[in-house]
Structure 1
Amino acid sequence: MTLQPVHLAVYDTLADWETGHATAYLARAGYRIRTVGPSEDPVVSIGGLRVLPDLALDAVRPEDSSLLILPGADLWDSSEDLAPFARKAREFLAAGTPVAAICGATAGLAREGLLDDRDHTSAVSFYLAATGYGGGERYADADAVTDGGLITAGPTEPVAFAREILGLLGVYEGEVLDAWYRLFHDSDPAAYAVLEKATADR
């Protein structure tokens, strides 16, 4: 079975470190990672990486995707430039295609109203409250949350963010997913043996 690609949003000031665990292990599992920019013009990350998007946001359709990943970026809080990505997330969720948002992207989704009726998390509750959104009662003080096809996480939880993504797409499950998290989050050497066996059994 051919897997639909995973679409990774890229834009100026994107936080490079927030999606690497997820995209690396999705790619190892056979997913093609396609970068999506505001246009096809290059963007520059917070870390100074110059990224040439594979395609522009307007060209992305939920039916052609397994997942849309929205990393954090300074622009989420300093302008309306990234609002089209939040609107695209609405389109994905309405079509039943999942979305994963971390750090500032959670605020963008809050402004779009996408967190009003879903359990979610972010950096801290008052960060999202400042957007004026209506979902404060659904905020969870957790490393990452999945609800209604939407994954959210705060900026210090890229490994938990990846765990939710890998679990949602079935890359790892159960004790193997737990072992992956323990290895990369907790540096638990015992978890490596579980992952090695799972890889050998595939």
Structure 2
Amino acid sequence: MNAGRKPVHHAVYDTLADWETGHATAHLARAGYEIRTVGPSTDQVTSIGGLHIRPDLALADVRPEDSSLLILPGGDLWDTSGDLAPFARKAREFLAAGVPVAAICGATAGLAREGLLDDREHTSAVSFYLAATGYQGGTRYVDADAVTDGGLITAGPTEPVAFAREIFRLLGVYEGEVLDAWYRLFHDSDAEAYAVLEQAGGQ
């Protein structure tokens, strides 16, 4: 583990969408980042896919100054209750401290409700999904696979690879042709991209 890098904090909660953050966390870990899971408490949570996860720490104990990035995956609870609102408030704390946040799928709706998308370009599943939250940022919605603005990454549920790409770009994990090759390999199954990654040690 690279001692000079602060951990990446990955939110976990009941109904979290397993498939949305795996590309990001696997390659961040390979790049030397410690991945620390953060739950509402340290009690076990269960993902949509039935994985049981015991968080490393509780949300209340996470401080922006101790982190490189906060990742917020989607989950049914973002739309069916207010249980995850504290994670959106923590995202506000991170962004105010200049520490980036990456939100995908339902987490984007949580950030919309918190007002964090009103003044930033962003994306999600579809524009009317966010419009249903009543937020004020509709004119800043971008129809793209993933968007980064002001230290905040957003993506829809079908774009876990693009989501990871934006995280790698923001943290400087991969850059230039290596970042492009990584995306082409994992998103487009472009076999020629593997040679670029192998040469750069980034596969």
Do they superpose with TM above 0.5?
A: yes
Q: Matched residues in 1 for 2:178 and 2:31: separation?
A: 14
CA shift for structure 1 position 167: 0.8
Instruction: Say if 2:23 is the partner of 1:21.
Output: yes
Deviations 1:141-164 (A, max 9, x none): 000000000000000000000000
User: What SS is found at the alignment partner of 1:120?
Assistant: coil
Aligned positions, number: 200
What TM-score does the superposition give when structure 2 sets the normalisation length?
0.98
Identity across the alignment (%): 85
Instruction: Say if 2:173 is the partner of 1:171.
Output: yes
Q: Gapped runs of 5+ residues in structure 1?
A: none
What amino acid does structure 1 have at the position aligned with 2:83? D
User: What SS is found at the alignment partner of 2:103?
Assistant: strand
**Over 3 Å off, 4+ runs:** none
User: What SS is found at the alignment partner of 1:8?
Assistant: strand
Structure 1 partner of 2:133: 131
Alignment match of 1:151 (pick from 150, 153, 158): 153
Q: Matched residues in 1 for 2:84 and 2:183: separation?
A: 30
Alignment match of 2:76 (pick from 58, 74, 77): 74
Structure 2 partner of 1:43: 45
Structure 2 partner of 1:34: 36
User: What SS is found at the alignment partner of 2:201?
Assistant: helix
CA shift for structure 1 position 192: 0.3
Q: Gapped runs of 5+ residues in structure 2?
A: none
Structure 2 partner of 1:90: 92
User: What SS is found at the alignment partner of 1:142?
Assistant: coil
CA shift for structure 1 position 11: 0.1
- The alignment's C-alpha RMSD in Å is 0.7
Deviations 1:25-79 (A, max 9, x none): 0000000000000000000000000000000000000000000000000000000
Q: Matched residues in 1 for 2:181 and 2:170: separation?
A: 16
Alignment match of 2:67 (pick from 61, 65, 88): 65
CA shift for structure 1 position 2: 1.3
